[in-house]
Structure 1
Amino acid sequence: VLIHNPIDISRLSNHYFRVPLGIAAVAIIEPKVVTTSPAVKKFSPSKRKCYLRNERILTHFKLFSQLNCLLECLSNYTLNKCRYVSYFMPSKFHSLLGDNATPVCGIRNIDCVYVADKVLNKDLKSKISGKGDEPHCDCRPSCTELSYNVETSHSDFLWTFGAPSDVQNIPDKLKLFVLCFSSVFPILTIYFKAEHFMGIERNELYGVSDLISNFGGLLGLFTGFSLISLAEIIYFLTLRIFTI
C-alpha cells in the first residue's frame, strides 16, 4: 500500500507498507506540511536548502518535488549508462512529430538498471558532487511540501458468526466460504490521527537586527561598552580637545 502526495510519483519499492493475507490492519495517517516564509525566499537555494516551484524545472514533470526530481535523475543516469530505461522511469515516448522514443529494457538487460540504481543511491548517501560520469541530481526538497507519516498495526483477521444460535442456521457452504475469505483476503482501515495538525515553517534564524542586538549585548556584557561610550570617546578625542 502506497500513501503519498498526489503530485509525487513515488517508487513502490521504496515507499510502501505491506498488508499480509488474513490480517486486519490499521493505518493511522498524520499529514506533515512544510512552508517557507517570505523572508527566506530572498536567499539562494544553497542557503535555504530548498527549491521554490519556479526555480527547478523538470523535464518529465510539470510540478517539482524531491521524489520527482530523484526519479527523473535516475532515469537520465540510467539512460546515459545503459542506453535504455526501465518501464517505470519517466522517458520520451513517440509523438505525432515523429520523435524517437526512449528504449525500454527487457529482462535480459535488467542488470544494468540495478547497477545504475545502486551507484546513484551510493552517491546520494555519500553526498558526492558529480564529476564526469558520476551522477549528480541536485534534488533539494521543495520549499512547500506535503507528506504523510503512517503508523500501522495489525492483528489476525478473525471472522465471527455471532451468537451460537446463529451459527446453526448458517449453511456449511457459507461457513466454508467465510473461513476461506478470512484467510485469503486482508482488511485495511485508514484514518487520520487527528482532525487538526501543526505545520512547519522555514524562517530566518538570525536577521540583521538580531545580529546587531546580540553583538551590542555581548559587548555591553563583557566589556561594558555601549553606543554612549563610543560617543564619549569621539567627543573627548575631538571636540573636547578644542574646548580646553
Structure 2
Amino acid sequence: MVSKSRGKRSSKLPNSKKKNFNNNDLKKPNNFEDVTNDLREYLMTSTLHGLRYIGEKKLTWLERFFWLTAFLCSLICAGFFILNVYAKWRKSPMIVSINPEDMPLNKLPFPALTICNVNQAKKSVAERYVAYGSSVDQKLLESLCSSLKDADLFEDDIAESADWDHTRSFLINVTQPCEEMLAICIWDSKPMNCQDLFNAQLTDEGLCCTFNVVHREMMFRNPRDLNDLNITFPLPAVDWTPENGYPDDAPQDGFPWKPKGIGTDHGLTLILDANVPEYYCASTKSTGFKILLHNPTETPKIAKLGEIYGPGIEARVAIKPRILDAQAALKDIDVNKRFCLFSSEKNLVFYRTYTFKNCQMECEARRMLEICKCVLYFMPKNKTTRICGKADAKCYNNIRNYIPADQASSCDECLPACNELSYLERLSTAPLDKNLIMKYATSLQMSNNITSEYFTKNMLVIHFYFEDKTFLRYTKGEIFGLTEFLSNTGGLLGLCMGFSMMSAVELIYYVTLRALCVARQRNRVQPFIK
C-alpha cells in the first residue's frame, strides 16, 4: 500500500511540476521597466546634486517633485549664465590689457620728425615775383598767402598754365630750403651735417624737412615709380615695421636709427633758423615752425597736426611712445569683432606697411582720383598718376560736394592696425638770453655773422630725447579663449548642479556602454523548453 501510494505520488509529481512551469513560464522582457530601472539606478548613483532624491523610493511623490523642480531650476540658471558668457565671448572677444613685459628702449626706433617753417614764401623771392614775375607766378603766390580758395583765384586761362610742374618749381624756389632752416644738428652728442640727417619733402604744408623715415625701398611697394624729390638715405637701411620690429640680423647703426640712451646728450638737438626778416606770409598767426613726431613708416600730414614752436626759446621735448601690440591668436577672430588689421590681412597699393594713417592717405587719394582724375601733390602717387594743377581747383576745393553723405566721414575699409606705434611729447620751454647764447653759438662754431639779437629773435634751440629705458605697452588679446570659456562654463555648472567631467562620463556610460552591455546580457537568457 505504501509503495503504491508512493508510486502514484511520484508519478503525479512531474505532471504537477510541468503544469506549474507552464503557468509561470519566463516572461518576455519589458523594455519600459528596464529603462525605468536603469534610470533609477543612474539617479541613485549620479554625482549630480539632487538626483538621488528624485530616484529614492522611500520619498513621497511630493518630495521627489520638489527635488526635480530644484534640479531643473538650477539647470535653467546655469544655462542662462552660460548663454550670457557665450554672448559676451562672441560679441566682444577682444580685450586690451597692460603687458607685464615692458618694451625696452633698444627695440624702438627714434621717431621720425618733419619740420616746416610756417613762412609760406621768402620775402625777397616773393617781392621779386610781384615785381618781375609772370601772371601765373603772381597768382601762385597769391594762392599761398590768401585765405581764398584756388577755384576763386585762378581764371581759366591762367589755370591751364599753372600745371603741377610749374607749381612744383615755384614751391621749391619760394620756400626756405632745409640747408637754411637747419643751422646745427647734433645726434647722440656728435655734431653732424644736417644734410646727412634730413631730406626735403613736399607735404601738405609745402616744402619741409624730414628725419629718420624708413628708406623708400621699405616704405613703398614700387619706389621707382614715384615722382618725387631726390632723396638720399644713410646706410645700412633696415626693414623695420611696427608689427615685426627690427630684424634679428639688423646692425646696431641700421636706419631708421635707434635711440642711443636717455637724456638730451643721447637724443637729437637742433638749432633752427626761422629767418623772421624774410617772412612774407605764414600759415599761422605767429612765427616759428611746425614740428610733427610720427611713425617712421608714415607720410606726415603736418598742416593740421603739427605742433607750433616759436623762435627765441630753448625747448625740451621728452618723447613718450604709445605702443599697441596684439597676440597672434587674434587672427582667428573675425575682423568685424576685433576692429583691427594685421599687415598680412590688407595690402595697400602704395605703402608696404599697413597703418591706419597710410590707409587713410591712400583712400583719400583714390577718392580724389576717381572724382577729379588727379591727386594733390602730397598724396601717394606714381609716375602715371596725374597731379592736380590749378585748373582742377574747382574739383579738389569742392570735393566734399561730390561725395555721398554716408561716405563723407571716413574711409570705412581703414581699420586701426593691430600693432601700432605712435609718439607723444611732453614739452618744456624757456626764453633764450642773449648774454648766454653767444657762448653757446661759439662753442658750436656757428657763423660769425649771427649776432645775439638775431639769435634770440630768429633761432629755436630744441632737444628731442627719451627719459625712460622701458615703456608700458598695451596688448590686444582674447577676452575668452576656449580654455577660459570651458572654465567659466564648468564653474557655473559646478556651482548650480555639482557638474564635473566625471558627471558627463557617467551620463555617457549609462546611455551607451551600460545600456549595450545590459541588452547583450538579456539576449543570452534562453527560456527552458522541454
Aligned to 2:396: 113
Aligned to 2:278: none
**SS at structure 1 position matched to 2:451:** helix
Bigger proportion of residues as helix: 2
Q: Deviations over 1:123-157 (max 9, x none)?
A: 7xxxx5x5xx9974411122222211122232322
> Quick one: distance in 1 between partners of 2:458 and 2:400?
34
Matched, 1:182 2:456: yes
Q: Is the contact made by 1:24 and 1:187 (CA closer than 8 Å) also made in structure 2? A: yes
Aligned to 1:148: 423
**Structure 1 residues 181 and 74, CA, compared in 2 at 3 Å: closer, same or farther?**
same
| Letter of the structure 1 residue corresponding to residue 385 of structure 2 | T
1:235 Cα deviation from its structure 2 partner: 8.1
> Quick one: distance in 2 between partners of 1:110 and 1:59?
26
**Structure 1 residues 230 and 135, CA, compared in 2 at 3 Å: closer, same or farther?**
closer
Aligned to 1:73: 363
**Structure 1 residues 235 and 72, CA, compared in 2 at 3 Å: closer, same or farther?**
closer
Aligned to 2:379: 89
1:226 to 483, 487, 499: 499
Aligned to 1:212: 486
**SS at structure 2 position matched to 1:160:** helix
| Letter of the structure 1 residue corresponding to residue 479 of structure 2 | L
**SS at structure 2 position matched to 1:54:** helix
Q: Is the contact made by 2:326 and 2:418 (CA closer than 8 Å) also made in structure 1? A: yes
Q: Deviations over 1:162-185 (max 9, x none)?
A: 9xxxxxxxxxxx899202211111
Bigger proportion of residues as strand: 2
1:61 Cα deviation from its structure 2 partner: 1.4
> Quick one: distance in 1 between partners of 2:482 and 2:436?
71
Which has the larger displacement, 40-49 or 111-120?
A: 111-120
Which has the larger displacement, 84-93 or 110-119?
A: 110-119
Between 1 and 2, higher relative CO (CA 8 Å, sep ≥ 6) is seen in 1
Aligned to 2:348: 58
> Quick one: distance in 2 between partners of 1:117 and 1:3?
29
- TM-score, normalised on structure 1? 0.73
1:33 to 298, 317, 323: 323
**Structure 1 residues 134 and 17, CA, compared in 2 at 3 Å: closer, same or farther?**
closer
Structure 1: which 5+ residue stretches go unaligned? 94-100, 163-173
1:132-147 matches, within 5 Å, as: 136-147=411-422
When Rg is computed on C-alpha atoms for both structures, the one with the higher figure is 2
Matched, 1:15 2:305: yes
- TM-score, normalised on structure 2? 0.36
> Quick one: distance in 2 between partners of 1:176 and 1:38?
56
> Quick one: distance in 2 between partners of 1:74 and 1:233?
61
> Quick one: distance in 1 between partners of 2:325 and 2:400?
31
> Quick one: distance in 2 between partners of 1:212 and 1:234?
19
Structure 2: which 5+ residue stretches go unaligned? 1-290, 438-447, 519-530
**SS at structure 2 position matched to 1:80:** helix
| Letter of the structure 2 residue corresponding to residue 143 of structure 1 | C
> Quick one: distance in 2 between partners of 1:232 and 1:176?
92
> Quick one: distance in 1 between partners of 2:394 and 2:484?
55
| Letter of the structure 2 residue corresponding to residue 199 of structure 1 | R
> Quick one: distance in 2 between partners of 1:161 and 1:136?
52
